[in-house]
Amino acid sequence: MPQLIADRAVLRMTSELGQVMAAACARELAGERVLHLERGEPDFGTPPHIVEALSTAARAGETHYPDARGTIQLREALVEKLTRENGIACHPDDVVVTAGGTHALFLAFQGLLSGGEEVLVLSPHWMAIPKLVGFAHGASYRTLPAYLELGAESITPADFAARLRDALRPGTRGIYVNTPNNPTGVVLSWTQLEAITQVAIERDLWVISDEAYEHLLFDGAKHVSLASLPGMPERTLSVFTFSKSYAMTGWRVGYVVSPPALRPVMGPLLSFYTTHGVFPSVQSAALAALRGPQDAVETMRRAYQERRDLLISGLEGQSAIRIPRPLGAFYAFADVSGALAARNSEALWALVHDWLSLGVAVLPGIAFGPEYVDRVRLSLATRREDITEAARRLQTQFAGAAPRGSR
């Protein structure tokens, strides 16, 4: 029997999201009402002018093989956006339009990692990262806890840089950074990012900067793109997507900006031989998203912020669930140690199933890194009524309750 790609341990790992969704679905089939706080998908429709642009483009015949790097019109518009909003100066030849941010990350890891090399993943991290790295043959990843302490400012940038230096190994080729962060909602500051860049420059590392949630910021938080810092354009691959900002998850369109040294790799090789580019009409719709009115982005941002506030105020007055206030993305990474009998994955799964029996679906923290055995992720990408009701059910359960198993 030949060795299959799926035999690699990391690719065989089951998905926590799949498990929770299956359990939630079984309950719904049995007639129960489940509040879905486990999914990371905007519940809004794509703004109508973007849908219209797709239809117009398809009717006009934009249905043939695209330039695998993306249409020049879209790449030029992206260069303008990157310069204006992100402070990233780049050339259209260094921008590749991809089938969503996931594909952009796949290309980045394929382009950078060889056998025996590893990427250091700041954690907690988006759950797809281990597998996306695992597809790069012989490459591996290690996690380094970062966002909770950086978010709480309980570690200084200098101490964080020292932690980063200590974590590097001879085979470490790059660092994966995600701000605003899924699942914590932490938004890294310029000084915190600068600490990462110092180490990257010193040790000649690549940085993969995942900026999927760049527009989802609360309380006036500012997003800083890593590639806008001195010395970083030549070593950063910046990943963006239309999925979250414009509620375009199903359209599969995103982009990656990489240094000129990677020009022969990203578009002509990796994009050409994986998807051969993105449906041209979708690219015209993405152009309409970029150039058209941005009020829908702001409406959705406000809605997520309002839901965050509803969740936090709905859980006030109990100590079993504590939520560090997210400043971006659309998740809360709750500390549930006060509701756990033990700090291990079995106890955490038991809690997730208990909450499911209350009709509240969430993801266990271990989906985002093995060390998060006392956390759960609650998504704000669901109707405000459902957030309020979920908070009410949890509040009823935990008001005045002692930790699980202590009675």
Contact footprint for ligand PLP (CB under 6 A): 40, 100-102, 126, 178, 182, 210, 212, 241, 243, 249, 254
Nearer to ligand PLP (CB atom), residue 192 or residue 241: 241
**Rounded CA separation 171/169 (Å):** 5
Nearer to ligand PLP (CB atom), residue 118 or residue 210: 210
Nearer to ligand PLP (CB atom), residue 136 or residue 212: 212
Other Cβ atoms closer than 10 A to 175: 27
Nearer to ligand PLP (CB atom), residue 174 or residue 254: 254
What is the smallest separation between the CB atom of 250 and ligand PLP, expressed in angstroms? 9
What is the smallest separation between the CB atom of 390 and ligand PLP, expressed in angstroms? 20
Nearer to ligand PLP (CB atom), residue 43 or residue 389: 43
**Rounded CA separation 124/130 (Å):** 12
**Rounded CA separation 93/73 (Å):** 12
Nearer to ligand PLP (CB atom), residue 237 or residue 347: 237
What is the smallest separation between the CB atom of 178 and ligand PLP, expressed in angstroms? 5
Contact 46, 242 (CB under 8 A): no
Contact 80, 88 (CB under 8 A): no
Nearer to ligand PLP (CB atom), residue 239 or residue 394: 239
For 171, the token pair is: 């085979």
What is the smallest separation between the CB atom of 274 and ligand PLP, expressed in angstroms? 14
What is the smallest separation between the CB atom of 113 and ligand PLP, expressed in angstroms? 18
How many degrees, rounded to 5, is the angle at CA 70 between CA 66 and CA 75? 145
What is the smallest separation between the CB atom of 40 and ligand PLP, expressed in angstroms? 5
Give the DSSP H/E element, type plus range, for residue 310. helix 295-314
**Rounded CA separation 192/195 (Å):** 5
DSSP 157-193: HHHHHHHHHHH--TTEEEEEEESSPTTT-----HHHH
- Main-chain dihedrals φ then ψ at residue 123, nearest 5 degrees: -125, 160
What is the smallest separation between the CB atom of 30 and ligand PLP, expressed in angstroms? 29
For 2, the token pair is: 């030949």
